[in-house]
Amino acid sequence: MDKTKIETIKKYGFEFLTIFVGIFAAFTLDNWNENRKDHHTEIKILYEINRGLQQDMSDIDVNAAGHRAGLQAAVFFSQLILNKRSNSDSIGYHYFNLLRDFISVQNISGYQTLKSKGLEIIQNDSLRTKILSLYENDYNSLRKLEEDYAELQFFQHYQHDFSQLMVPDFMLDTNGKVGGISIPLNVTAAEKKILLIDLSRMAANRNFMIATYTEVKSKIMKLQQQIDAELKR
Q: What's the domain range around 133?
A: 3-231
Task: Find residue 178's DSSP bridge partners.
Answer: 172
Four-point Cα dihedral 178, 182, 184, 187, nearest 10 = -80
Per-residue pLDDT of the chain (233 residues; tens, 9 = 90+): 555 655 555 555 555 555 555 554 444 445 444 455 557 889 999 999 999 999 999 999 999 999 999 999 999 999 999 988 777 778 989 999 999 999 999 999 999 999 998 888 998 999 999 999 999 999 999 999 999 999 899 999 999 999 999 989 888 888 888 888 888 888 999 999 999 999 999 999 999 999 999 999 999 999 999 999 988 87
Count Cα neighbours of 216 within 13 Å in the Cβ-side half-sphere.
29
Give dist(CA 223, CA 170) in Å, integer.
48
Contacts of 206 (CB under 8 A, 6+ apart): 67, 68, 70, 71, 74
Is the separation of the CB atoms in 202 and 149 below 8 Å? no
Q: Other CB atoms closer than 10 Å to residue 35's CB: what's the count?
A: 11
Give dist(CA 157, CA 149) in Å, integer.
10
Is the separation of the CB atoms in 77 and 94 below 8 Å? yes
- The answer, yes or no, to whether the previous bond of 168 is cis (omega within 30 of 0) is no
DSSP for residue 134: I
SS3 call for 180: strand
SS3 call for 129: helix
User: Whole-model pTM?
Assistant: 0.81
Task: Find residue 197's DSSP bridge partners.
Answer: none
Number of domains in the chain: 1
